[in-house]
Chain A
Amino acid sequence: MTTTTAGQTTGPEDNPLVEGLERLPVHPTALVIFGATGDLARRKLLPALYNLAHEGALPERFGLVGSARSEMTDDAFKQMAIQSVREFSRRAPDEKVLAKLFADTRYVIGSFDDHEVYEGLTDALDELDKTAGLSLNRCFYLSTAPRFFPVIVDCLGRHDLADREHAEVRVIIEKPFGRSLEEARKLNARVLSVFDELQVFRIDHYLGKETVQNVLALRFANNMFEPLWNRNYIDHVQITASEDIGIGSRAGYYDSAGALRDLVQNHMLQLVSLLCMEPPVAFEADAVRDEKAKVLRAISAPRPEEVAQMAVRAQYAAGTVAGADVPGYHEEEGVPEDSQTETFAALRLEVHNWRWAGVPMYLRTGKRLARKVTEIAVTLKPVPHVAFQAPQMSTGVRPNVLVLTMQPNEGVSLSIGAKIPGSRMAIRTVNMEFLYGTAFLSQSPEAYERLIIDAMRGDATLFTRNDEVEAQWRICDPILKTWETMPWPLPEYPAGSQGPAEARNLLIGDSRWRMI
């Protein structure tokens, strides 16, 4: 990718010095974090900035401005940022780098609808430009509660902060992007009335994970999979994102969201689109996102009467996890007694296109399940004829399963039938395993490190485009609306289990849910 606008990725034809460098330069940038004292900023964003600084990956001129409602001086914010890095960074910080990183950091206090905040930001950003002696690109990171997204975007527009001459302005928007299709459309309309789509970076941090990106590498850098990657050879796909923990202290957020909004609408549908997309012409933002959007458009939005057959929701009841008794969802602190929020969701989807017609895509996610795992399991169709007929010989002949694991053990495994040593032709399934940690010397960067630097660079490949977001809501919205009208209480599953028995009803034919 090569452009000549400020901050875009450059190629050797523009700057001959970048050839052969692992890290391409990023245009000098000022980053403004709205919600800079919040949990996400403290746990993820500030440590990610530190790690980028440690690696020498930040732009050569970099300025940080935090903004939030908390009463705080510049110095207090710097101390909070330093403390956050010490507490949450993936590596022990080099104190000299840490001190330098936040030395000139500014903090602008106020409510996000207060015009003084934006005047304060304008002053702080102009000062950073003056100090640098050039127009820095500007990135506004919206790490706030979602209700502030439209407010902030409007204010940025009104205060002439949404574009500038000789430099780029970008806005990074955290999830959730709306709570429904209607909200997502309204939010997109508000955002795009101020910013051009090229300036908007909607974060889905799953896409920043190395192993998620590896789905594309596996599919499009290996000739052995592509011929099999279609309805002729694939029986079904299961995507699982399970957690063994409960909602912890996030009852306020989680009870208003639920499992479908929290994980399926964004992360899991992104995984479906990466798994099912056609090869892009190039690994460039719009080429990749065009293909992903096509997949999402090929998934029908269910009619209300279809929802019960293709979607299951449930809540966890008290149970045992890792040998310890844990409370049910309704007993968790902050959860209303009459909450109907699902902590488990499972769906059966189908991608209606030539490649995937008739292949069920099973998705499930939940809290307080047997263990934490995120994986995509692609089950191939069985062999057409089993030559090993005698029962004692054929018990092990199973369809091949290709499993792409995102966490905890990042890697790929393929189950294959192999002969058990001995005089009989007895078969059992064995796994061919590839684990990232054993094959590469580098430590994977945190997803946020990759995404922040990509946004600063203007590369939107790993961000969700407006049409993708709306296509995702188009699939989930009818399910949520139907669930709202369905009688309660919800089905339950014991904490620490494989999920509710009702999830089995989604499966077609002989399929079974994989063990979590």
Chain B
Amino acid sequence: MSTTDAVWSEQDTTPSAIEAALRRLVVECHAATEQCVPARTLNLVCVVDREWSGEIANRLRRVGRYHASRTVVCAVEPHRRTIDAQATISVGGDTRAGEFAAMRELVVVRVGEHHLHDLDTIVDPLVVTDLRTAVWSPHGHPEAVDALTTGRAGGTPIAQVVLTDAVDEPEVGAALARACELAERSEVVDLAWLRCTPWRERLAAAYDPPARRSELHTLSKVSVRYRRDSLVSGLLLVGWLCSRLRWRPDQLTRHGELLRGRARARRGEVELRLEPVDEMSTPGLAGVETRSDRGTMLALERGEGGLTARRREPAKRRGDDVFEHVWTVLGASRGEPGILGEGIRHALMVDPTFKPALMAARRLLGQRQ
């Protein structure tokens, strides 16, 4: 696979000069290879510490086909007063006659911390107008996210979507509170939430056969196991069940490593239990188990080639054996590089169940709404 790059850079530059350079590079690229066309899907603005920008660049490279069409990396240096920039347009692949190749546009802007409060004024000319814009700020810098998601003088904000990973936040309660605050004015795509998606899909599927749908309303216990750093994913999954099934959760209490609590459902109480595990290589959930007051049990665990599912049903008649089945629910792991790509893809979508799940997760932590 060959790659064509057109590069421009300038020190002590301005946003307008960068924007003009980008327009020129697009024309140059097209003149060099008529088959290359600008991709117009999503702007992604990344706000990163300069010293860690290489690591972020690596993560972005590994997202594969889910890359944003224009990525603007704002590399923050503590005492910088001026703006340096480098713009690169790459056209990857050997294109055959009659085919096209999409351009990837990358702008790296070096800014100082003092620029962050007004970052919108720097980024505005650099994003493609009318495209959705997502902001991802993995090293903190909330002031930059606020600048991009709050419209200046009551105007339209530059970014409509905030990409975040609550697992990276040092304190779970603060992470959920911040996500909630951002969700008031933007759409939030939380990688911690996306890590729950396969589990949500499988729980939905397990209770989808008509004969099993009514079982959802008889659930009496939910246990979630999570990697030690991924409590927030566990809380969001339990919050999702609470919001979808209209359970009213109480605050969880800590019993050693365990978090336990209850939710009030229409038919009675549901016991909730969250437990950390150590043996997982990637963040997210390790397993989910549900039990119903009819005596049925469903357990989903990470396994080879997908999730290992186990379902137990009580004996129908006295003397019968307990009915238990174990099978694999097929699906390939996306891995951590994949989850960032999923996050970028989800920046184009709206998941109406995230916010209610987030609210319920906050109630589980005893946070006031």
Chain A residues with CB under 8 Å of chain B are 4-6, 10, 14-23, 25-28, 53-56, 58-62, 94, 96-101, 131-134, 166, 371-373, 408-409, 433, 435, 437-443
Residues from chain B with a CB closer than 8 A to the CB of A61 are 327
Q: Which residue of B has the minimal Cβ distance to A12?
A: B244
Q: Provide a sorted-by-A list of 6 A–B residue pairs whose CB atoms are within 8 angstroms.
A: A17-B200, A19-B353, A54-B332, A62-B330, A133-B311, A441-B42
Known: A6-B210, A17-B208. 19 other contacts (CB 8 A): A14-B213, A16-B216, A16-B244, A19-B244, A25-B201, A25-B208, A53-B331, A56-B198, A56-B330, A59-B205, A96-B305, A97-B306, A132-B327, A409-B99, A435-B100, A437-B102, A438-B38, A438-B41, A441-B348
Contact yes or no, B98 A441, CB < 8 A? no
Contact yes or no, B201 A56, CB < 8 A? yes
Residues from chain A with a CB closer than 8 A to the CB of B327 are 60-61, 131-132
> Which label, helix, strand, loop or mixed, suits the secondary structure of the A interface?
loop
The yes or no answer to B8 lying at the interface (CB within 8 A) is no
Contact yes or no, B352 A439, CB < 8 A? no
Contact yes or no, A28 B39, CB < 8 A? no
Shortest distance between the CB of A136 and any CB in chain B (Å): 10
Q: Which residue of B has the minimal Cβ distance to A94?
A: B332
Bound-state CA distance A4–B208 (Å) is: 10
Q: How many interface residues does B have (CB within 8 Å)?
A: 56
Query: Per a CB cutoff under 8 Å, which of A15, A19, A59 touches B216?
Result: A15
Residues from chain A with a CB closer than 8 A to the CB of B66 are 441-442
Shortest distance between the CB of A13 and any CB in chain B (Å): 10
Bound-state CA distance A153–B304 (Å) is: 38
Contact yes or no, A101 B209, CB < 8 A? no
The yes or no answer to B204 lying at the interface (CB within 8 A) is yes
Contact yes or no, B305 A94, CB < 8 A? yes
The yes or no answer to B206 lying at the interface (CB within 8 A) is yes
Bound-state CA distance A409–B95 (Å) is: 12
Residues from chain B with a CB closer than 8 A to the CB of A372 are 98
Q: Which residue of A has the minimal Cβ distance to B205?
A: A25
Residues from chain A with a CB closer than 8 A to the CB of B348 are 440-441
Are A5 and B309 CB-contacts (below 8 A) given A408-B99, A438-B102?
Answer: no
Residues from chain A with a CB closer than 8 A to the CB of B198 are 56
> Which label, helix, strand, loop or mixed, suits the secondary structure of the B interface?
mixed
Residues from chain B with a CB closer than 8 A to the CB of A443 are 65
Q: Which residue of B has the minimal Cβ distance to A62?
A: B330
Residues from chain B with a CB closer than 8 A to the CB of A28 are 209
Chain B residues with CB under 8 Å of chain A are 37-42, 65-67, 69, 98-100, 102, 197-198, 200-211, 213, 216, 241, 244-245, 304-306, 309, 311, 313, 323, 325, 327-333, 344-345, 348-349, 351-354
Most-contacted residue by chain A among B100, B311, B328 (CB, 10 A): B328
Shortest distance between the CB of B312 and any CB in chain A (Å): 10
Contact yes or no, A441 B345, CB < 8 A? yes
Query: Per a CB cutoff under 8 Å, which of A19, A97, A409, A438 touches B305?
Result: A97
Contact yes or no, B37 A433, CB < 8 A? yes
Query: Per a CB cutoff under 8 Å, which of B40, B306, B309, B354 touches A56?
Result: B306
Residues from chain B with a CB closer than 8 A to the CB of A94 are 305, 332-333
Residues from chain A with a CB closer than 8 A to the CB of B65 are 441, 443
Contact yes or no, A438 B69, CB < 8 A? yes
Shortest distance between the CB of A59 and any CB in chain B (Å): 7
Residues from chain A with a CB closer than 8 A to the CB of B216 are 15-17
Query: Per a CB cutoff under 8 Å, which of A22, A97, A131, A441 touches B331?
Result: A97
Residues from chain B with a CB closer than 8 A to the CB of A4 are 210
Query: Per a CB cutoff under 8 Å, which of B102, B241, B325 touches A131?
Result: B325
Bound-state CA distance A470–B89 (Å) is: 53
Shortest distance between the CB of B68 and any CB in chain A (Å): 8
Are A23 and B201 CB-contacts (below 8 A) given A408-B99, A438-B40, A441-B66?
Answer: yes
Contact yes or no, A16 B201, CB < 8 A? no
Q: Which residue of A has the minimal Cβ distance to B327?
A: A61
Q: Which residue of B has the minimal Cβ distance to A4?
A: B210
Contact yes or no, A97 B330, CB < 8 A? yes
Most-contacted residue by chain B among A94, A98, A99, A443 (CB, 10 A): A94
Residues from chain A with a CB closer than 8 A to the CB of B69 are 438
Bound-state CA distance A62–B306 (Å) is: 13
Shortest distance between the CB of B243 and any CB in chain A (Å): 9
Residues from chain A with a CB closer than 8 A to the CB of B311 are 133
Residues from chain A with a CB closer than 8 A to the CB of B345 are 441-442
Query: Per a CB cutoff under 8 Å, which of B38, B332, B349 touches A97?
Result: B332
Q: Which residue of A has the minimal Cβ distance to B98?
A: A408
